[in-house]
Structures are given as C-alpha cells and as structure tokens.
Amino acid sequence: MIETNPQQNSVKKILPLILATAIFMQMLDSTILNTSLPSIAKDLHESPLNMQNAIISYVLTLAVFMPASGFLADRFGTKKVFIFSLILFSLGSLFCSLSQNLTHLVISRVIQGVGGSLMTPVGKLALIKTFDKSELLKAMNFAIIPALIGPVLGPLVGGYMVDYLSWHWIFLINIPIGILGIVLGLKFMPDYKSDDVDFDFKGFLIFAAASLLLSVSLELFGDMQNITPVLIVFILGFLFLYYYYKHAKKEGHPIFPLNLFQVRTFRVGIVGNLATRLGISSVPLLLPLMIQIAYKQSAVTSGWIIAPMALTAIFGKSSVIKILDKYGYRQTLMINTFIIGTLICMLAIPDIHTSLYWFIPIIAVLGFFNSIQFTSMNTISIADLRNFQTSSGNSLISVNQQLAIGFGIAFGLIVLKIFENSDLIKGETHNAFRYTFLTVGILTILSGLVFKRLHISDGKNMKSKEE
C-alpha cells in the first residue's frame, strides 16, 4: 500500500483542474473564432473568405507538432513543457488581439497552435502518470468536461463579444485563464521525465506529413469546388500513413510503436473514437447552421438553442462513474452510442413549421450522453497501456481525436452538400439538413458495433474505488 503525503494529495486535487483549464482554453478558442470571422475581416480590410486562413493555420500547426508532444514531455519533463505551452498559447492569444493585418493574425495563430499542440496532451500525460488506474476515471472525468462545454459556449460567447465588445476580446479572454494555468502549474504540476529517450525524427516527419495532408484535405472538403485535388491530398495522407507503418516495422524506437495496436482496448478506443465522432462532431456545426440558414434566426439564437448541451454534460459527469461501475465499458459504450445515434436521427423529425423549442430537449439529453461517451472512450483507450507505452499512446490518442473531430465536421458538410444537390429535397434547404441528420445518426448507431470487440471484463482495472 503506497502512502500519500499532503503534497501528493494537493497535486491530485489540483491537477485535473489544471488540465481542465488547458482543455477549456483550447476548445473555446477553436470554436469562438468561427462566429467572429466576418467582424475581423471587416476590421482588417480582408475578404471573409480569406479569413479561413486564420483557422487553417491553427489546425495545421496542431497536426504537425502534436505527434512530438510525448517525446518532448519525456525529454524535458511534463512540468517545463506544459508551462512553456501555456506561455506560448497565451502570448499567441495576445499577438492575435494586436494583429493589424491577416499575415500578423496567421503568424499569431501558428504560435497559438504550437502551444495548443503540447498543452492538452502533456497535461493529460501528467494526469495518467499521477493517478492509479482505479482513480484515473474520476480524474479524467472531471478534466474532460471543458471538451464538451467549449464547443457549445464558443459560438455563443463569440457572438456576444463581437456584438457588444470587439473581436479582440475573443483572444484576450484566454490570457487570464492561461495565467491561472501557469500559476497552478508552477506549484502543482508534477515533472515526469524518462531516462530512455530516443527521438525518431524520420518517423516524426513522416507522421507529421500524414497528419498535415489529412488536415489540409479536411479543411478543403468544407469548401470544395473541385473534388479531384481534395481526393489527391487525402489519398497522399493515407499513403504517408502506410509509409509510416513500413518505417515503424523497421525502426527500433518509433515515435508511435506498432505494439500499441496489440493492446486490444487501445485499438478499439482509437477506432471507436474515430467512428463515433463522425456523427457527434458534426452536430454542433450542423444544428446552428440549420437554425440560421433554414429558420433564418440569428447566431446568438442558435447559440442559445445549443447551450443546454453544455449544462447537461456536467450532469453526465456525475453519473458516468456509477454507470461504468455497474454495466462495464462494453455494454455502456454500445448502448450509449445507440442512444446518441437515435437522438441525432430525432433532430430530423421537426419540419420547417415546427417550433425551435422542439430541439432543446433533444440537445439537452444529447449533452448528457456525449459526456458519458467521451469519458468512457478516453479512459478505455489507456486502460491497459504499460508505463513505457503511456507517452506515445497518449500522443497518438490526442492526434486521433483532433483528426476525428475534423473528419466529423467535413463528413457532415459533405453529406449536407450531397443532399442539397439531389432531387430529393426539391430546393427546400431545411430538408437537406433533415436527411443529413438522419444519415449521420444511422451511421453513428452502426459505429457502436466497434465496441463489440471489447470483452465484458475490459476496463475492470479502471473501476472506481468509491463504491
């Protein structure tokens, strides 16, 4: 039995909060900008279409640097890298708010992206290394809530800030949160290092190229005029992934060892994350779009319709440990994915004459089950990783989640465009959204079959001590 001292207890209390501030800052920043782009474009004398560069530059920087997060943490220590990432992200936010033209803004977003690519994975790695498997579910559960709240609050907060303050505030809001994270990190962030650190630079470049190409293709999918170049970039991304696989088979210490995929729970967690997020990630984009385009409502109104999702996510947090302890990961994830898919299908029921209030209870219930889904998927992915696999496994999970969210958004937009151009809807845009929700919902239900690969006993070592 390991005895814990008061300092260790303090670290265990504060560490989930430190990670939560980092996740919240990153998720809020990723979504708050969308609402503000027209206002920023006007102020910087740019076309709103060019402003996409401010989003793309951030996403691509994440894709390039995130694979190196595990190595950097092992080499320089989790504390130094985490605090450095918070400083970079906060400085990038300050520079964004001071930008005088689009070039300044893009450079500032790249600085933010380098900080963001290290911030969440390294904070999560410190959490995994600090807590026993039996305590990790509870700690991760607390820290993951901002990942659910950020994308919901982002458009709402962004809308109000642009309307009543100025676009500069959407970046300045990060600075006090960043300072709080730095202060708490200096005092409570543990400094884990590894003596056996060998950086696979070639593997890093290959995998970063794959992530970059896939991210570029996802960004192009959202605004494609010609499908051919998009498909070429997409296929190139997968070819680089295959090249990495061939490289990792020969390399003694690859950046992402292939033996990670011999761990069944990790393999199922990675594939499940990718599959289920196709539907889950598209909803916070598609529903506000439908409310604004089909129902002709304001951005603030659509923000308020989505807002209950954030509130019920907090209630889901308090239930997930009891649910997993009672039903186990396999049954919970299969049933939960079915419920989420069914709820997404239900968004297709109201016609153009139905009150907008009809969506609120569906969105509220969806937030509750999303909370259970994310906590369950994130914890089962790391349940059976050995100590020497933790850094690389955690980095790969972070890269996978980033790409999964991008795939989900791109997938939702592609399905929507297909229905918009089909004879089914006969010029009624609202029906294109309805068919999209139905398609995305059915595919989400089917994605739950991935979790059949789990055994009934999987995740038992994550079982909470508090019974």
| DSSP-assigned states of every residue in 205-256 | HHHHHHHHHHHHHHHHHTT-S-HHHHHHHHHHHHHHHHHHHHHHHH-SS-SS
Domain boundaries, the chain: 1-197, 200-254, 259-467
Identify whether the C-beta of residue 113 lies closer than 8 Å to the C-beta of residue 65. Answer: yes
Cβ-based neighbours of 427, under 8 Å, separated by 6 or more: none
Q: Please give the pLDDT value at position 401.
A: 82
Q: Is 407 helix (H, G, I), strand (E, B) or coil?
A: helix
Nearest to 365 by CA among 343, 333, 335, 337: 343
**CB atoms inside a 10 Å sphere around CB 335:** 16
Nearest to 283 by CA among 440, 451, 57, 70: 440
What's CA 107's distance to the chain center, in Å? 23
What architecture does CATH give domain 259-467? Up-down Bundle (1.20)
**Residues of the chain where predicted confidence (pLDDT) is lower than 70:** 1-9, 30-31, 34-38, 47-52, 146-148, 150-152, 155, 159, 162-163, 195-197, 219, 221-226, 299, 424-427, 461-467
Identify whether the C-beta of residue 153 lies closer than 8 Å to the C-beta of residue 34. Answer: no
The Cα 349–Cα 298 span in angstroms is 22
What's CA 226's distance to the chain center, in Å? 28
Q: Please give the pLDDT value at position 197.
A: 66
| Rg over CA atoms, the chain | 21
> In the structure encoding, which two tokens stand for residue 230, read together?
């998009």
259-467 matches 1-197 in CATH topology: yes
Q: Please give the pLDDT value at position 425.
A: 67
Identify whether the C-beta of residue 347 lies closer than 8 Å to the C-beta of residue 437. Answer: yes
Identify whether the C-beta of residue 372 lies closer than 8 Å to the C-beta of residue 325. Answer: no
Cβ-based neighbours of 464, under 8 Å, separated by 6 or more: 134, 135, 137, 138, 321, 324, 325
Identify whether the C-beta of residue 31 lies closer than 8 Å to the C-beta of residue 154. Answer: yes
Cβ-based neighbours of 153, under 8 Å, separated by 6 or more: 28, 31, 307, 310
3-state helix, strand, coil in the chain (%, to 5): 80, 0, 20
> In the structure encoding, which two tokens stand for residue 365, read together?
């219930």
> In the structure encoding, which two tokens stand for residue 402, read together?
């980033």
Nearest to 97 by CA among 83, 111, 85, 86: 111
Q: For the whole model, what pTM was predicted?
A: 0.79
The Cα 238–Cα 290 span in angstroms is 32
**Tokens 């955690």, located at residue:** 394
H or E element: which one contains 281? none
Identify whether the C-beta of residue 255 lies closer than 8 Å to the C-beta of residue 387. Answer: no
The Cα 124–Cα 143 span in angstroms is 9
- Reading phi first (left if > 0) and then psi (alpha if -120 to 50, else beta), residue 237 is in alpha
Q: Please give the pLDDT value at position 440.
A: 92
Q: Please give the pLDDT value at position 4.
A: 47
Q: Is 297 helix (H, G, I), strand (E, B) or coil?
A: coil
> In the structure encoding, which two tokens stand for residue 297, read together?
């409502």
The Cα 191–Cα 122 span in angstroms is 11
Fold (topology level) of 1-197: Growth Hormone; Chain: A; (1.20.1250)
- Which long-range CB contacts under 8 A does 448-451 form with residues at least 24 apart? 448/276, 448/333, 448/334, 448/335, 448/336, 448/337, 448/338, 448/341, 449/334, 450/268, 450/271, 450/272, 450/275, 450/276, 451/268, 451/272, 451/329, 451/330, 451/333, 451/334, 451/337
Q: Angle CA(186)–CA(189)–CA(194) in degrees, nearest 5?
A: 120
Q: 377, exposed or middle or buried, with CB in 10 Å at 0-12, 13-18, 19+?
A: buried
